[in-house]
């Protein structure tokens, strides 16, 4: 946003009141150690079978119909770390050697392990396990994505919390109601403070066992760039925790990426332009050039963009100087989405669900990308903050609670449904070709 229009979370905390807002404050987390206790309740140190394997996770690849990335953590080097996989029901397995990468952040040292599974057949069911010499985990399911047919995915908004049990309940409830989901997305601000390792432990614990069984596609948010003192830094933990597909960049590796799934091509974009500018320059320019090339070479039927910060600027109750319009993120990306024929855009950051329908050339239109502001999936609330925007078509019931979205793709249509945590549907939008 423009300097005079910036609205930081710290400014919000000064303006807002109430227990719901305070629950999202990092200062409470640090003072009272809420997250350490939450992580322990959620099973922070889960062993997988006989091997020491913490926070096992499947990560999306550029083509998950033929490949998958498996990650886990341990306290020491596993000299023979690897992943074995096989078709479901088969006895013979293939093996991929895993890395041993030391990672220290927030005063905590661990070893990250990454293994790449390749050579899958689209749509087939597999199973995988982690091994280290004679030690091995239990077998876990792995489904290769369909090459073209339809699919279902779970879309979760901001999950940053003081107690990640809320995120756990939303995520696991959505997955239980949609066991056929092929993968899931978290739209950024996964955690409240990107430096705080207890929050990453709690987030990963809350996402299990879903994240062990279906691949995860992360989006970087601004809170991933915050240290414990709410100062901006590079998103070190996020970049290490999720080995997302490469983007060819030497400067911004893992900041943005793309992947195919079924009939869709997804571009996961980075909106932390202000946060990275002091450390690295050129993120927007590099990303826009990459996006044009990436989208134009895709032959998938549908094009979907995922980005954390929203494209619209909202008026704020109590701040008459704040005007309604298009945000700086919207000004940068929306004309490109128009030009490239993007069908659907998901955003987050504002902790409210809004369906805007089609917008083209910054105006409501009969065609053009459909824009969905995804809502909130953690315990941070912004009660009575935003004034409805003229481009809003559907607004979540007030006062807002958590929500999640289900994306269902077919060859001729994309359907997005928004649900409350108990499974009550509050909105549906369909894009048809």
pLDDT in tens, the chain (433 residues): 333 334 444 444 334 433 333 233 332 333 234 444 444 434 434 445 589 999 999 999 999 999 999 999 999 999 999 999 999 999 999 999 999 999 999 999 999 999 999 999 999 999 999 999 999 999 999 999 998 889 999 999 999 999 999 999 999 999 999 999 999 999 999 999 999 999 999 999 999 999 999 999 999 999 999 999 999 999 999 999 999 999 999 999 999 999 999 999 999 999 999 999 999 999 999 999 999 999 999 999 999 999 999 999 999 999 999 999 999 999 999 999 999 999 999 999 999 999 999 999 999 999 999 999 999 999 999 988 999 999 999 999 988 899 999 999 998 999 999 999 999 999 999 999 8
Instruction: Pull the structure tokens for residue 66.
Output: 């033929």
Q: Which residues pair with 313 in a beta bridge?
A: 325
Domains of the chain listed by start with CATH number: 3-31+148-432 (3.60.21.10), 54-143 (2.60.40.380)
Q: Are 139 and 123 in contact (CB under 8 A)?
A: no
Residues in CB range of 244: below 8 A, 6 or more apart: 59, 60, 217, 218, 254, 257, 268
Residues in CB range of 380: below 8 A, 6 or more apart: 21, 23, 24, 158, 160, 161, 162, 192, 351
Q: Are 239 and 168 in contact (CB under 8 A)?
A: no
By three-state DSSP, how is residue 76 classified? coil
Q: How far apart are CA 210 and CA 176, in angstroms?
A: 9
Concatenate the DSSP letters of all residues of 177-239 into one string: H-TT--EEEE-S--SS-TT-HHHHHHHHHHHTTHHHHS-EEE---GGGGB-TTS-B---HHHH
Whole-structure pTM value: 0.90
Long-range contacts of 3-6 (CB under 8 A, 24+ apart): 5/313, 5/322, 5/323, 6/274
Q: Which residues pair with 229 in a beta bridge?
A: none
Question: What letter would DSSP give residue 244?
Answer: P
Q: How far apart are CA 170 and CA 207, in angstroms?
A: 10
Residue from 271, 244, 243 nearest 258 by CA:
244
Q: How far apart are CA 122 and CA 386, in angstroms?
A: 44
Q: Are 153 and 184 in contact (CB under 8 A)?
A: yes
Residue with tokens 């057949």: 121
Question: What letter would DSSP give residue 390?
Answer: T
Residue 318 burial (C-beta neighbours within 10 Å; 0-12, 13-18, 19+): exposed
């Amino acid at each position: 946003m423009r300097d005079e229009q910036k609205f930081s979370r710290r400014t919000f905390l000064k303006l807002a009141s109430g227990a719901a807002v305070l629950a999202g404050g990092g200062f409470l987390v640090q003072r009272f150690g809420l997250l350490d206790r939450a992580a322990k309740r959620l099973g922070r140190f889960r062993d997988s079978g006989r091997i020491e394997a913490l926070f096992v996770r499947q990560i999306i690849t550029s083509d998950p119909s033929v490949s998958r990335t498996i990650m886990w953590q341990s306290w020491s080097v596993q000299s023979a770390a690897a992943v074995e996989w096989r078709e479901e029901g088969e006895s013979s397995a293939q093996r991929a050697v895993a890395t041993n990468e030391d990672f220290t952040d927030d005063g905590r040292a661990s070893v990250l392990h990454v293994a790449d599974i390749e050579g899958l057949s689209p749509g087939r069911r597999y199973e995988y396990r982690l091994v280290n010499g004679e030690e091995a985990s239990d077998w876990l399911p792995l489904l290769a994505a369909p090459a073209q047919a339809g699919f279902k995915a779970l879309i979760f908004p901001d999950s940053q919390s003081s107690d990640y049990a809320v995120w756990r309940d939303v995520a696991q409830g959505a997955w239980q109601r949609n066991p056929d989901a092929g993968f899931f997305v978290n739209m950024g601000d996964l955690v409240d403070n990107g430096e705080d390792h207890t929050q990453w432990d709690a987030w990963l614990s809350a996402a299990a066992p879903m994240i062990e069984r279906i691949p995860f596609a992360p989006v970087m948010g601004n809170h991933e760039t915050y240290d414990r003192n709410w100062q901006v830094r590079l998103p070190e933990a996020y970049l290490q925790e999720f080995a997302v597909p490469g983007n060819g960049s030497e400067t911004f590796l893992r900041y943005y990426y793309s992947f195919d799934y079924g009939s869709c091509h997804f571009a996961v974009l980075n909106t932390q332009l202000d946060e990275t500018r002091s450390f690295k320059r050129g993120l927007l320019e590099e990303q826009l050039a990459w996006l044009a090339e990436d989208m134009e070479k895709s032959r998938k039927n549908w094009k979907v963009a995922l980005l954390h910060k929203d494209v619209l600027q909202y008026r704020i109750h109590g701040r008459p100087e704040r005007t309604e319009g298009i945000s700086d993120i919207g000004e940068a990306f929306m004309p490109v989405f128009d030009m490239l024929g993007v069908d659907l855009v998901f955003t987050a950051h504002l902790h409210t669900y809004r369906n805007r329908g089609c917008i083209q050339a910054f105006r409501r239109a009969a065609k053009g990308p459909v824009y969905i502001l995804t809502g909130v999936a953690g315990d941070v609330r912004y009660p009575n903050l935003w004034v409805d925007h003229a481009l809003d078509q559907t607004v979540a019931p007030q006062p807002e609670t958590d929500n999640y979205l289900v994306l269902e793709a077919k060859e001729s249509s994309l359907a997005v449904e928004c649900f409350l945590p108990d499974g009550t549907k509050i909105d549906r939008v369909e894009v048809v070709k």
